[in-house]
Structure 1
Amino acid sequence: MATATSLPDAPVRQTGAHRAPRSRPRPRYRNRLRNWLIFAVLAGPNIALLVVFTYRPLLQSFYLSTLQWNLGSPTAFPVGLANYADFFADPGTPRMLAVTAIFTLATVGGGMVLGLLLAVLLNRKLHFRGVARTIVVAPYVLSGVAVGLLWLFVFDPNFGVLSALLHTVGIGSPDWYTAPHWALVMVIIVYLWKNVGYVALIYLAGLQAVPRDLLEAASLDGASPLRSFVSVVLPLLGPTTFFLGITTLLTSLQSFDIIRAMTNGGPLEGTTTMMYSIYLEGFAGGRAGYSSAIATILFLVLFAVTVVQLRFVERKVHYT
């Protein structure tokens, strides 16, 4: 009796109605294209503004520094690096660089020290603490020209408030307007008064972010308040100090309004910084090419200082 052999089951071909749906992976280029479109929509306007109002004038300044061109003149002559050679050969350049360095170091260093002390004071529980914080920060938002004109009356050797206060203790008022070194001290004092509130505000935010449990642990270990501040608080303020070091340095090197309102760069160029010299040469003297060369040198100085801070100083900053 013959037995029927079993054949393997043939695969059943599914019809379109019974076929399982297959999910196709979305091409990667579509995701990338979508991300680039989102980036272009969100960042495009900002990039366009930077190109038009920052990078284009910067490149144009580089080009103008290679020309002998008087402001308003229809003609200009290429001179290569002659403007830079004239700058370093000018006998007044060392004095201008010294004034710039003194002004920058005094305003940056003094501003950060005074700002930190004010921030520590304003971080305490004081009566009318909110009013005190407002008073400290208020000068920062005022016009530099208005601040400079106001302080001219304070420093007046004959009728100023400071002169009257010094006379009450038997001290004569310095000649702020005619002595170059006293004029520089006057400008530094006014600049610190105006901008120390910004530093205090940033440091205050950093102090409020310090974990309280670390301070309590240091206190339990027997550390004094000064020891806790130096060993715990200051290292935690490293990122804040690094940020302020860059921003205040850049702002100080570009200071113009207070010097223009109070001294016009005098007396005897005692308050003429690089930034103010750019104005004098370009707009007062009409030497636009030479002024652009000074602006280019100032830009290179700012760029080099920023790179050094980012490259070396940031290594010592501890981020929590």
Structure 2
Amino acid sequence: MVMKRIRPYLMIAPAITIFCLFFIYPIGYMIYLSAHDWNFVSIEKTFVGLSNFKTLFSEPEFIEVMQNTFTYTTLTVSFTIAISLVLALWLNRQGVLYGFVQGAIFSPHIISLVSVSMLWMWLMDTDYGLLNWVLNLFGISSVPWLTDPSTSLLSLVIVAVWKGIGFNTLIFIAGLQSIPRDIYEAAELDEANRTRTFFKLTLPMLSPTLFFLTIISLIGSFQVFETISIMTSGGPINSTNTFVYYIYEYGFRFFKIGFASAAGVLLLIIVSLLTIVYFRMLSSRVHYR
């Protein structure tokens, strides 16, 4: 009898153990370190309370990092979702051409971010890049994609959108194909035009897919690291420095582990709050069939 009661807990025990070991414990230890001053080398940790958080908010560099992160996230999520939805509406049909285009669009998703970053560094090179070469053919002067503070963050957004639209497009296509055809047939009988059909039928029926893609894109954009580390290293003049790279710099370059942990705790709080607000505001508008 006792064995029958504890059997379910024994079956989930390995998963719970792994979850606690690799998720709960690191978060708890990060919160613990955020209240200490530690240089990652010595054994001793000095308790400083909320001093790291106070220093964090008094740093002009950190305020700029927050602005960069929110700007990057807003632009990346907006453009990725919008372009992916348009492509999905166009590619949601049978044919060899459409199948080929779907594969071509999806291919950047399976390429590692390191390879993508190296490729776009060459494309965006000010002197020898392919993009500036094409612009020069049309009489347009070269653009300092990665070396000018006014264009560097936008350049990283372009890379993120290029890599992300393939996955989002295929998910949107799957969502479109799951919509029953009889709904569109009823709309045709009512003589509804394409615009009205899209906003009154297609978009509401796609709301679960849109809800899912927006939330994972939002979280992923806040965690951007590889492209910044390889392409710009947070520069020029801190114009592309974002949350995760800022945490990496202070933790593993300046060895201010407590300060970096405080920034990590703040990132956790911001992402959690945005996720909760997003669910509270929009989950009621999602139409599940």
Same-fold status (TM-score > 0.5): yes
**Residues 1:144 and 2:113 aligned together:** yes
Shift of 1:125: 2.6
- Aligned residue type for 2:212: F
- Aligned residue type for 1:140: H
Shift of 1:35: 6.2
**Residues 1:268 and 2:231 aligned together:** no
Shift of 1:36: 4.8
Give 4+ residue runs of structure 1 displaced > 4 Å after superposition.
none
Aligned to 1:94: 63
Q: Single out whichever of 303-312 and 260-269 deviates more from structure 2.
A: 303-312
The C-alpha deviation readout for 1:248-307, integer Å capped at 9, x for no partner, is 111110011111111011100100011110011101111110000000000000111111
Of 98, 111, 120, 1:129 maps to 98
Q: In 2 relative to 1, CA 46–128 (structure 1 residues): closer, same or farther, beyond 3 Å?
A: farther
Shift of 1:91: 1.6
The C-alpha deviation readout for 1:81-107, integer Å capped at 9, x for no partner, is 000000001121221111011000011
Shift of 1:135: 1.5
Q: For residues 266 and 53 of structure 1, what CA distance do their matches in structure 2 show? A: 32
Unmatched tracts of structure 1, length 5 or more: 1-29
- Aligned residue type for 1:202: I
Within-5 A mapping of 1:227-242: 227-242=196-211
Aligned to 2:32: 63
Aligned to 2:88: 119
Q: For residues 223 and 262 of structure 1, what CA distance do their matches in structure 2 show? A: 49
Q: For residues 236 and 35 of structure 1, what CA distance do their matches in structure 2 show? A: 42
Higher Rg = 1
Shift of 1:143: 0.9
Q: For residues 167 and 124 of structure 1, what CA distance do their matches in structure 2 show? A: 37
> When the two structures are superposed, what TM-score results if normalisation uses the length of structure 1?
0.87
**Residues 1:34 and 2:4 aligned together:** yes
Of 220, 245, 254, 1:285 maps to 254
Q: For residues 92 and 197 of structure 2, what CA distance do their matches in structure 1 show? A: 15
The C-alpha deviation readout for 1:33-75, integer Å capped at 9, x for no partner, is 636513531x322221111111100000000000011122222
Aligned to 1:208: 177
Q: In 2 relative to 1, CA 241–33 (structure 1 residues): closer, same or farther, beyond 3 Å?
A: farther
Q: For residues 276 and 106 of structure 1, what CA distance do their matches in structure 2 show? A: 18
Root mean square deviation of aligned Cα: 1.4
Within-5 A mapping of 1:12-31: 30=1
Q: For residues 284 and 104 of structure 1, what CA distance do their matches in structure 2 show? A: 25
Within-5 A mapping of 1:138-217: 138-217=107-186
**Residues 1:255 and 2:193 aligned together:** no
Aligned to 2:213: 244
> When the two structures are superposed, what TM-score results if normalisation uses the length of structure 2?
0.96
> Percent identity between the aligned chains?
35
Count matched residues: 289
Unmatched tracts of structure 2, length 5 or more: none
- Aligned residue type for 1:40: L
The C-alpha deviation readout for 1:200-259, integer Å capped at 9, x for no partner, is 121111101011110111112111122211110000011111111111111110011111
Aligned to 1:45: 14
Aligned to 2:78: 109
**Residues 1:54 and 2:23 aligned together:** yes
The C-alpha deviation readout for 1:4-54, integer Å capped at 9, x for no partner, is xxxxxxxxxxxxxxxxxxxxxxxxxx4x9636513531x322221111111
The C-alpha deviation readout for 1:119-177, integer Å capped at 9, x for no partner, is 11221233333322222112112111110011111011211110111011111121123
- Aligned residue type for 1:132: V
